[in-house]
Structure 1
Amino acid sequence: MFFCSLCSHLRQHLLQFVTIFFSEFMVPHHPQKPLQMDCLSGTIENLDFNSFPNLTSFNLNGNNFSGSILSGIGSLSRLVFLDLSNNLLEGSIPPEIGNLMEIQHITLYNNNLAGEIPCQTGNFQKVEYLDFGSNLLETPYWSRIPSFPLLKHLSFHYNELQLGFPGFISGCLNLTFLDLSLNHLTGPVPESLFHNLVKLEYLNFTNNSFEGPLSANLTKLSKLKDLRLANNFFTAHILDSICLISDLQILELFNNSFQGNTLTSLGQLRSLERLDLRTNSLNSTIPPEIGQCTNLSYLALARNLITGSLSLSLFNLANLYELGLSDNSLSGEILPDFPSNWTNLLTNLSYLFLYKNAFSGSILPEIGNLRNLLALDFSTNHFSGEIPPTIGNLANLWIFDFYSNKLSGTIPPSICNLSYQESTTIIVKGLEHQLERILKTLTTIDLSNNFFHGNIPISIGDLKSLWYLNFSHNRLTGGILLALGDIPVPESLGLSSNLLGGEIPWQLTRLTFLEVLNLSFLTFDKSSYIENPELCGNPILKECEDDKKQQPAPSILPEEVDGYGILDGLKWQVVVMWYGFGAVVGIILGLFVF
């Protein structure tokens, strides 16, 4: 906006000008569409609100105003719309704000306001939208705040509220949106909420300390579309009741103590898009009825007591983006029907987590057809056989985790093919040019605690984004590749308990870049290499045969590392000192090399 180009010393006058503009020209019948300023900073403490008795709408959303809200704001007795959200305001909310008797929409969201919510807000008897979320506000005497008969939207999200449920809320009969998440509220949820707030469509109590059995009268909130009760201490068998709320689109109950020995009723939630039941005490199988929730894009059942095998009905979930079944007691083989059907239907699947179960059998080559996968974690199961080479088809993969299984064979070189091609078009002097580059996105490979044999694939050095690599506790032979020195592996190289031999290559010290010399090789402790009896060289205290015949100068790196002489005078004692910290050492040279 043109306001942003004005000099900072004019901003206070500008603020007064715009306020007058609000007063004279804004149509009071449209408080939802106020003129909005942005790109402004400073304070509003010098603004004389008394000069604008006819102001009806005031919107400073999305600026960088700091300082406090002064008591003079209470003089805006005709104000209908007030939006001070997304600024840097601090201090307390002045009690004079209660003089805004005509207010219908007020939001102070996302500031640094602190202190108790003033009881004078109870004067907002015409308010329909009230958002004090994302501040540092504290608990008032709730009994001094009456209910708001017209209120539809109420948010105290992400504050410092404590004690029990705010009593006035149960009397706000027109509420459709209620967000008390990320506070410290305790105790039970009163029954009056379920009987009175029957217009609710959004209910969020996430990250509080509410407790006790959740009432079956929750079903009276039949208009709910979004129910989030995660990270509390709720108990009881509640799913059968919740599943009667047929319009639910989002259901998040994770990290409570909900129980249940059947999940069949979930099939009634045909509109469900997101289901998160992680970390409860659900003792069930995956029911075939789950396949009726065809709008599901997110399904998380991890860390429960779920048993049995994978239900074939899962492949009906064509919109599924993330599937998390980890840390349960699921078992059996992943039958050919799964990958063959999934690859035809689950084209959106990006995250597949099956770790910490008891799955067995082989990993079928059809897994390579899930080409949108970003994370694949089958660790801590009983999978056996070889990793199919089609794994190299997963071009977008970031995380590849198969540790602690019974996999064997060689590590397929195709895992080094995990990359994707990015292209862009630029225009130079009227001519279009297509630029393409191959991006290596894989960041994590963990194949530890298996039975792999053979050599480490030589092309592993092509994975330039790799930061965690663990091949420990296998039967790998050969030497440590020089190419490992071409990838960044700070504190994340695991090669222990193999049959590797030869000298530890000094190329691991050659993680040099234009302005950074990374001596991370010497930051790895010896545990990265232990139980490889044929290895020799630093940091293992075993000399190599060639070293015995010809000792190198103790304080100078090989010529390939220090081709420009920039490390002359750097003593190994200094390196050893950093080695003791066990952290990545980077020496910034760009500012000092002339």
Structure 2
Amino acid sequence: MRNFNLYFKYSAFVLLLSSPLFPQNLVAQAPSCSEEDRAALLTFKAGILKDTTGILFSWVGTDCCGAWEGIECHPETGRVIKLQLQRPRESVGQNLYMKGFLSPSLGKLQFLQVMVLSGMKQIKGYIPESFSDLGHLTQLYLEDSLLEGPIPSSFGKLSSLIALSLSGNHLQGQIPQSLGSLKNLIQINLGRNSLTGMVPSSFRNFRSLQSLDLSYNLLSGEIPSYIGFFKNLTYIDLSNNQLSGVIPILLCNLTNVLDISLSHNKLTGLIPSQIGNLKSLNSLSLSSNFFTGSIPESLGGLQKLWYLNLSKNEFLNPFPNSFRNGLPSLISIDLSYNYLHLDAIEDWINGKELRYLSLAGCSIGGTLPVFARADLLSSIDLSDNEITGNIGDFLTNMTNLQVLKLSSNQLRSNITRINLPESLSTLDLHSNQFYGSVSDLLQKASSFLESIDISSNQVTGSLPQFSEGFRLKCLDLSKNKITGHIPSSISNLTTLEVLDLSRNQVFGVIPATMGKLLGLQWLDLSNNKLTGSIPAVFSRLSKIRHASFRVNSLCGQIPQGRPFNIFPVAAYAHNQCLCGQPLPPCKKI
């Protein structure tokens, strides 16, 4: 009975609200979309010529606040405060984009607080100057598209801005000094553009900055020492520029910094010993510079460091003793291509719980080591060294290994006795002294393998029959002693992009089934004993960028049509009787 009374009272109240006798101005209504804002958004939409994301399909009708995807309005005024057009994370790999131009009309959204246009790929043109009129804007993300021209100097008027990201475009010119007026910035990301000049001196005003990313540009000059005063900074990425000079000692005052990347620049000098003050540091990348001297002992005191990349510099021995018992969190280390002349791999490396290890080009001698926690290793690169002996038990217990690179050493083993981990995706053993049957190796290969390079060895035998299910993208067996035919089942390698069988003793005809390898980009069958013709169906291989059939006994017409008829003559030289472009025309019989 009580429930019935409640229902009756509720029904009566609803009827009263809908009655013409009840004053409607007392009923709370969601504000309608501002006509001015709606017009600005529709002008932007008109500049988008194609939208495969489907986001703008909902931009119809008059209610831009309630039904338009990516739009948020103020609950009381109905003015647009948020514009967020962003590819969803689950769409990675899908061909979703917006194609068109960035309309200045968005500068009329005078109450806008957040603008996100991220991952749209094909929005072109200059960044409109009108955006500097958005005085309420706190976040501006114009990322991963085709925007060009300079960064508007008028952006310095956006005094409320706390986050600015223009990354992943084609922006040019110098970074405006006026951006230094944005004293409330917490994040600035101008990475992956073509910006030139020096890091502006006005950036010294960013005392609240937590994240600084200027990577992948053409910036020059020295790293500003004032960055060392940004006490809240946790992330610095200045990599892939043309910065020179030394690492400022003041940078070592950033006790809250977690990640520093200065790789791929022209930096010189020593790593400051004060770098040991960065007690919070998780990741340090200084690769591909011109640093000299020894690696400082103080690095070994960084208890939280898990990623260290000092590769491609000019570091010398001795190795820091502090590394033996220090760096307890280290899981990834790359010291490749320095002047660290190691008689053998250091014991402390073998004892770490590493996932990623790269010591390529360090003049390492001796034999392959045994790792204490081999089961944790995911990637090993010991290429370009002087390691001898055989693989033996080296791969035992490496149950999670995905990448193995041992190329350009002096290793000698029967390749058929190597037990490859099931998890392996990349195998690079080129330029050693491996021998044995290629057929046995490939038949034992896991379906996870994507790249195999055993070129420049002494491998023999013939190619096996290939079953379906392989994921191979690269197969390089060149410069060996492989014989036999190319099996027609090679067409089952449907993901193949690179195939190199050159400088072997392969004979017979080229199977026409290879015309099914539609993803092939590199094909080298040169210096073998192949006969017959180049199959006409190869004209389907539209992605191919390099092909060579030279030094065989091939005859007949070269497939006519791009790209085979525009490859250089050298690609077909020293055969029996090939004809057709780019060679002389075939004779009519």
Q: Establish whether TM, by shorter chain, passes 0.5.
A: yes
For 1:275-286, list aligned pairs within 5 A.
275-284=333-342, 285-286=344-345
Q: Determine which of 47, 57, 60 is the counterpart of 1:5.
A: 57
Q: Which stretch shows the higher mean deviation, 167-176 or 86-95?
A: 86-95
For 1:171-320, list aligned pairs within 5 A.
171-194=229-252, 196-238=253-295, 240-262=297-319, 265=323, 268-284=326-342, 285-294=344-353, 296-313=354-371, 316-320=373-377
Query: Are 1:101 and 2:159 matched, yes or no?
Result: yes
Query: Are 1:358 and 2:431 matched, yes or no?
Result: no
Aligned-residue Cα RMSD (Å) equals 4.2
Shift of 1:356: 1.2
Q: Distance in 2 between matches of 1:246 and 1:232?
A: 25
**CA separation of 1:581 and 1:5: change in aligned 2, threshold 3 A:** farther
Residue by residue over 1:472-531, the C-alpha shift from the partner in whole angstroms, topping out at 9 and shown as x without a partner, is: 36xx6xx822365644697512445xxx7xxx531x4335269579999x96222xx4xx
For residue 46 of structure 2, what is the aligned residue in structure 1?
none
Query: Are 1:582 and 2:585 matched, yes or no?
Result: no
Query: Are 1:348 and 2:400 matched, yes or no?
Result: yes
For residue 489 of structure 2, what is the aligned residue in structure 1?
462
Shift of 1:176: 0.4
Query: Alignment partner of 1:352: what SS?
Result: strand
Contact persistence 1:293–1:317 (CA under 8 A): no
Amino acid at match of 1:150: S
Query: Alignment partner of 1:178: what SS?
Result: strand
Query: Alignment partner of 2:205: what SS?
Result: coil
Query: Are 1:524 and 2:556 matched, yes or no?
Result: no
For residue 493 of structure 1, what is the aligned residue in structure 2?
525
Query: Are 1:115 and 2:163 matched, yes or no?
Result: no
Q: Determine which of 422, 438, 443 is the counterpart of 1:392.
A: 443
For 1:123-142, list aligned pairs within 5 A.
123-140=181-198, 142=200
Q: Distance in 1 between matches of 2:544 and 2:439?
A: 36
Residue by residue over 1:241-281, the C-alpha shift from the partner in whole angstroms, topping out at 9 and shown as x without a partner, is: 32321212222222111223447726633433332222211
| Structure 1 segments unaligned to the other structure (5+ residues) | 422-438, 530-536, 540-555, 562-566, 588-594
Amino acid at match of 1:493: L
For residue 464 of structure 2, what is the aligned residue in structure 1?
416
Q: Distance in 2 between matches of 1:119 and 1:219?
A: 33
For residue 105 of structure 2, what is the aligned residue in structure 1?
46
Q: Distance in 1 between matches of 2:416 and 2:158?
A: 67
Q: Distance in 2 between matches of 1:319 and 1:273?
A: 9
For residue 36 of structure 1, what is the aligned residue in structure 2?
84
Query: Alignment partner of 1:329: what SS?
Result: coil
Q: Determine which of 425, 428, 443 is the counterpart of 1:374.
A: 425
Q: Distance in 1 between matches of 2:264 and 2:550?
A: 39
Query: Alignment partner of 2:269: what SS?
Result: strand
Q: Distance in 2 between matches of 1:92 and 1:578?
A: 40
Shift of 1:185: 0.9
Contact persistence 1:418–1:440 (CA under 8 A): no
Q: Distance in 1 between matches of 2:78 and 2:305?
A: 38
Residue by residue over 1:303-353, the C-alpha shift from the partner in whole angstroms, topping out at 9 and shown as x without a partner, is: 12112211112x623232221111111122333x324xx2xx322222211
Q: Distance in 2 between matches of 1:59 and 1:523?
A: 48
Shift of 1:153: 0.6
Q: Distance in 2 between matches of 1:111 and 1:84?
A: 8
Query: Alignment partner of 2:375: what SS?
Result: coil
For residue 564 of structure 1, what is the aligned residue in structure 2?
none
Q: Distance in 2 between matches of 1:325 and 1:150?
A: 43
**CA separation of 1:18 and 1:101: change in aligned 2, threshold 3 A:** farther
**CA separation of 1:332 and 1:263: change in aligned 2, threshold 3 A:** farther
Shift of 1:204: 0.8
Q: Distance in 1 between matches of 2:212 and 2:427?
A: 40
Q: Which stretch shows the higher mean deviation, 304-313 or 388-397?
A: 388-397
Shift of 1:132: 1.6
Query: Alignment partner of 2:419: what SS?
Result: helix
- Structure 2-normalised TM-score? 0.72
For residue 394 of structure 2, what is the aligned residue in structure 1?
338
Contact persistence 2:484–2:507 (CA under 8 A): no
Contact persistence 1:258–1:281 (CA under 8 A): yes
Shift of 1:129: 1.2
Contact persistence 1:142–1:167 (CA under 8 A): no
Amino acid at match of 1:149: R
Query: Alignment partner of 1:242: what SS?
Result: helix
Amino acid at match of 1:378: L
Q: Distance in 2 between matches of 1:302 and 1:383?
A: 19
For residue 542 of structure 1, what is the aligned residue in structure 2?
none
Q: Which stretch shows the higher mean deviation, 260-269 or 394-403?
A: 260-269
**CA separation of 1:449 and 1:69: change in aligned 2, threshold 3 A:** closer
Contact persistence 2:59–2:69 (CA under 8 A): no
| Structure 2 segments unaligned to the other structure (5+ residues) | 1-52, 87-96, 574-578, 582-589
| Equivalences, count | 493
Q: Determine which of 140, 151, 172 is the counterpart of 1:82.
A: 140
For 1:509-588, list aligned pairs within 5 A.
509-510=534-535, 512=537, 524-526=549-551, 529=552, 580=569, 582=571
Q: Distance in 1 between matches of 2:382 and 2:169?
A: 38
Q: Distance in 2 between matches of 1:139 and 1:183?
A: 10
- Structure 1-normalised TM-score? 0.71
Query: Alignment partner of 1:258: what SS?
Result: coil
**CA separation of 1:99 and 1:267: change in aligned 2, threshold 3 A:** same
Query: Alignment partner of 2:155: what SS?
Result: helix
Shift of 1:146: 2.4
For residue 472 of structure 1, what is the aligned residue in structure 2?
503
Amino acid at match of 1:276: D
**CA separation of 1:505 and 1:26: change in aligned 2, threshold 3 A:** farther
For residue 448 of structure 1, what is the aligned residue in structure 2?
479
Q: Distance in 2 between matches of 1:387 and 1:58?
A: 57
For residue 454 of structure 2, what is the aligned residue in structure 1?
402
Contact persistence 1:128–1:152 (CA under 8 A): yes
For residue 531 of structure 2, what is the aligned residue in structure 1?
505
Q: Determine which of 484, 503, 509 is the counterpart of 1:482.
A: 509
For 1:48-67, list aligned pairs within 5 A.
48-49=107-108, 52=110, 54-63=111-120, 64-67=122-125
Shift of 1:419: 4.7
